[in-house]
Structure 1
Amino acid sequence: MSNQPRSRLAVAGLSLGTALNPLNSSMIAVALVVLRADFGLDVATVTWVITSFYLSSAAGQPLMGRLADRFGPRRMFTLGMALVAVTCALAPLSPNFALLCVARAVMALGTAAAYPSAVVMVGVMVHQTGGPQQAGQRSSRPLGYIQMANTSAAAVGPVIGGLLVGFVGWEALFLINVPLALAAMLIVRRAAPADAARERGSFAELVRDSDIPGILGFVSSLLLVMMALLDVAPGYRWLLLGAGTVTAALFAWRELRFRPPFLDLRLLGRNRPLMLVYVGFALFNSVYYFAFFGLPQLLQESGGYEPGLVGLLMLPLAAASVVATPWAVRAMGKFGVRRVLISGVVLLAAVAALMWLLTQSLAIPLVLALTALMGVPFGAVSIASNQGMFVSTRPQERGVAAGIFQTCRYLGAITATVLIGVFAADGVDQESWGLMTLTMLIVTAAAFGVTLLWRERRD
């Protein structure tokens, strides 16, 4: 098989593997009622099947990215997919709900290896097919395919989940991952380039240089802060937030003194373009998830629409984002990453302003138009931010950089969830939607300011 078909096949396998995380984060939503009935749970308890996946994904992305940088992306991708296949084969046998949540967390850790490993492998493939000067431009197309696969998986997740739960049961939500993970693993093993020589040495040396306390500090601080934001332990939110802040400070203190650190904070501090990409992406996702999480609640609670119809009304968002992604890839090749980013954020501001119309009417044609419009900046800004992260990072650091990039997506989503709870504690109605629209515009203005400051890094 020649290099070009092999590269295309490898991107297909990487796209399939990275799609498992958004697929499993969305299709579980339709199984909550069934899980409550099967295990005799209340509403608060059953949400842990979502929260465990969320927390493990957010904390695991940078960790798995660091391991991909150290030991090879193909090796880590294979390990991640194998972990998903084994865990999902055993999960339906769980005798209680607690073990089911553990299985979801382990599965999330396996899927978390896919995206940062894919970004590192894309860098390897584009360097093999062109010189370093073309690497940034040539990477936009495979990263675009991966982005489209992830967006599509998140969109069709509830539909697939509904069919699986309806015809088979909640167990099928795990079992469907087994053939998908094995297929992704075998495709990547066959078509992706072999890992270059990475770190070698005795087991004791590898453990010593792995900065285990730094890794534990990073994961612990992130988990504590996210648990506080999600209010997973009612009454202890501020205690968790304080503990997370202290742990983060200790983590930073250690990383500035340890060599080699798990996360090079000095280098990250000097890499202004990468920091701006992270901040802008987190702000952008806060706005996007306001619409993604808030609009379905508005349509059901204030509009009286059935859940099935609401799902159909949200589909144009995913469809438009899939269409917008290849357009954004072509535009980046012609106009550059920065101009596409700025254009996407400006369009996001316009759509956020139009969302105010929903305070006056929830007519189906208006909802369809607005959800489709929201998908355009989502597709454009997502792939442009992805590309901005890629070109702002040195090849040997792209794994951990991609992991942190994904964590910024989760932080944006969690921020939106918390703010929706603040503005609409008693339910999302048209009055609270007006306040949420104003908040979206304020956050979009901040994202616009960050985007204007960003410049492509040139070493």
Structure 2
Amino acid sequence: MMLGSILNPINSSIIAVALVPIGVALGAPARETTWLITGLYLATAIGQPLMGRLVDTYGARRMFLVGSALTLLAGLLGTLSPNIWVLVVARVVLGFGTCAGYPSAMRLIREEGERTGVHSPARVLSALSITTQTISVIGPVLGGALIDIGGWRSTLAINVLLGAAGLVLGRLYLPAPQAPGPSAELPSAGRTARARIDVLGIVLFAIGMVSVLLLIMQPSVARLWLLVPGVAAGVAFVVQELRVAAPFIDLRMLRSSPALVRSYLRSVLTALVSYGYMYGFTQWMQESRDLSPSLSGLVLLPTFLVGIGVVALTGRRSDLRKKLLVGSIAQILACALVLVLHDDSPIVLLLAIAVVLGIPQGLVNLANQNAVYVQARPEQVGSAAGLLRTFMYFGAIGSSSASGLLFGDRASTGGMHDLGLVMLVAAIGLLVLSATDRSLRRR
């Protein structure tokens, strides 16, 4: 489960140090290499709730194996890509393939918790938080090492090994679907929904998401027409989901659980800061601070180490509100440090930012994950977990869009300061949302 869950965050972050080498090797300008991020995010935004729904319907083991196979295929296609657009297709396939691991893990943990009577298995959820959120920071470190060893293609080839490992381990160790009857793998809601997957809801969601996200990622007056299909598909999607008995995304669940919606909003704000740091800060270190890809990745390593330490120390503590408050304050401090960067900033300042951001990387992501685990209905935990990832990538897409707009052709220090202000506003919003959420006080 931990192996499957790292596939998405590792591939989302490993590309941060590979964009420049890929552009040079394939003769692609920055506006084209950006699609390597955009394509994965589009696929992920659609694939996370889709895979979560399929996990709830067809079982965690089956979808875990499907996701591993797609990851292996994407690794082969990316490794052999002759040009930038084939590589973009490989990243899209990779996005769908890596979406299965996390909702499968959350589903299996919930089923095992119900079987054993452990309502909130803190140790397991903490381990999952490390592998799904905190470990994403090691992506640039791994990416820099892979590029030094085997060039940029090795950052895609690693998915061949990871996908193959997922297929083997999933077949050997994940529980197989049980025979018809009372089943943890396919509860009654999943069995009745098996024959009527909401295809129309999936299509409408995809049209709306692609339209709106394309506008967000490259905003301009000429692209405002995208609002027409986006809004139309969104309205039709809401009508469809409220009409069918087994919706693709259960809007009734969201309407009846404001606390769950607030957890999703916190995930958006958290990702705006963390991914703005991961992508924007990494680009700035390479283009303005003149650090190599491998050294830029090493600067981010303290975030990973501190995040693991924070999760290890606080994972069994149940006070979600305190974790969110402390984490949001740490984000605000880190964003303030970003605002004082300059082209010759000492390495110690860069490391200080990395260390401070490790605190929310552990605390906030763990708190959001655990909140969704207890707020979602048991039969919908796979879908709820997929939606958590979708909202997280909304924030990631927003940070990517902000970086593109504020940096332009080069990640200058002035652009980094502007991005730091955007991150600061998001961090303050997270603090306000956490402080005013009364439902957290009851957890």
Name the TM tier (shorter chain). Answer: 0.7 to 0.9
Answering whether residue 65 of structure 2 is matched by residue 99 of structure 1, we say no
How many angstroms does 1:164 deviate by?
Answer: 3.6
Partner residue of 1:161 out of 121, 143, 152: 143
Q: Deviations over 1:386-414 (max 9, x none)?
A: 00111110111111111110111111122
Partner residue of 1:55 out of 42, 50, 73: 42
CA distance in 2, matches of 1:404, 1:351: 27
Distance 1:205 1:355, change over 3 A: closer
Q: What corresponds to 2:331 in structure 1?
A: 348
CA distance in 1, matches of 2:193, 2:329: 50
Q: What corresponds to 2:388 in structure 1?
A: 405
CA distance in 1, matches of 2:148, 2:291: 21
The worse-fitting range, judged by mean Cα deviation, of 255-264 and 372-381 is 255-264
How many angstroms does 1:53 deviate by?
Answer: 1.7
Note if contact 1:328-1:384 (Cα within 8 Å) is conserved in structure 2: no
How many angstroms does 1:105 deviate by?
Answer: 1.3
CA distance in 2, matches of 1:53, 1:171: 17
How many angstroms does 1:42 deviate by?
Answer: 3.5
CA RMSD of aligned residues (A): 3.1
Partner residue of 1:316 out of 302, 307, 310: 302
The correspondence of residues 302-313 of structure 1 with structure 2, limited to 5 A, is 302-313=288-299
What amino acid maps onto 2:138 in structure 1?
Answer: V
How many angstroms does 1:26 deviate by?
Answer: 2.7
Distance 1:357 1:239, change over 3 A: same
CA distance in 2, matches of 1:310, 1:323: 22
CA distance in 2, matches of 1:307, 1:170: 11
The correspondence of residues 200-219 of structure 1 with structure 2, limited to 5 A, is 206=194, 209-219=196-206
Q: What corresponds to 1:252 in structure 2?
A: 238
Partner residue of 2:186 out of 170, 190, 198: 198
Answering whether residue 351 of structure 2 is matched by residue 365 of structure 1, we say no
Partner residue of 1:108 out of 73, 85, 95: 95
Q: What corresponds to 1:441 in structure 2?
A: 424
What amino acid maps onto 1:61 in structure 2?
Answer: Q
Note if contact 2:144-2:294 (Cα within 8 Å) is conserved in structure 1: no
Q: What corresponds to 1:135 in structure 2?
A: 119
The correspondence of residues 138-153 of structure 1 with structure 2, limited to 5 A, is 138=121, 140-151=122-133, 153=135
TM-score, scaled to structure 2: 0.87
CA distance in 2, matches of 1:424, 1:300: 13
| Corresponding residue SS for 1:83 | helix
How many angstroms does 1:255 deviate by?
Answer: 1.3
Partner residue of 2:270 out of 284, 294, 314: 284
How many angstroms does 1:262 deviate by?
Answer: 1.4
CA distance in 1, matches of 2:19, 2:303: 24
Note if contact 2:144-2:293 (Cα within 8 Å) is conserved in structure 1: no
Partner residue of 2:4 out of 9, 17, 40: 17
Identity over aligned pairs, percent: 34
Distance 1:341 1:29, change over 3 A: closer
Q: Deviations over 1:142-165 (max 9, x none)?
A: 222122223464333334334444
Partner residue of 1:226 out of 213, 221, 244: 213
Q: What corresponds to 1:43 in structure 2?
A: 30
What amino acid maps onto 2:186 in structure 1?
Answer: R
Distance 1:394 1:457, change over 3 A: farther
Note if contact 1:21-1:108 (Cα within 8 Å) is conserved in structure 2: yes
Distance 1:253 1:435, change over 3 A: same
Q: How many residues align?
A: 435
Distance 1:328 1:34, change over 3 A: same
CA distance in 1, matches of 2:416, 2:354: 15
Q: What corresponds to 2:322 in structure 1?
A: 339
Distance 1:365 1:171, change over 3 A: closer
Partner residue of 1:275 out of 247, 261, 270: 261
Q: What corresponds to 2:282 in structure 1?
A: 296
Q: What corresponds to 2:56 in structure 1?
A: 69
Gaps (5+ residues) in structure 2? Answer: 178-182
Note if contact 1:328-1:383 (Cα within 8 Å) is conserved in structure 2: no
Distance 1:175 1:275, change over 3 A: same
| Corresponding residue SS for 1:330 | coil
How many angstroms does 1:28 deviate by?
Answer: 3.4
CA distance in 1, matches of 2:301, 2:153: 25
Q: What corresponds to 1:455 in structure 2?
A: 439
The worse-fitting range, judged by mean Cα deviation, of 425-434 and 443-452 is 425-434
How many angstroms does 1:229 deviate by?
Answer: 1.2
Distance 1:306 1:100, change over 3 A: closer
Q: What corresponds to 1:4 in structure 2?
A: none
How many angstroms does 1:430 deviate by?
Answer: 4.7
How many angstroms does 1:277 deviate by?
Answer: 0.2
Note if contact 1:125-1:193 (Cα within 8 Å) is conserved in structure 2: no
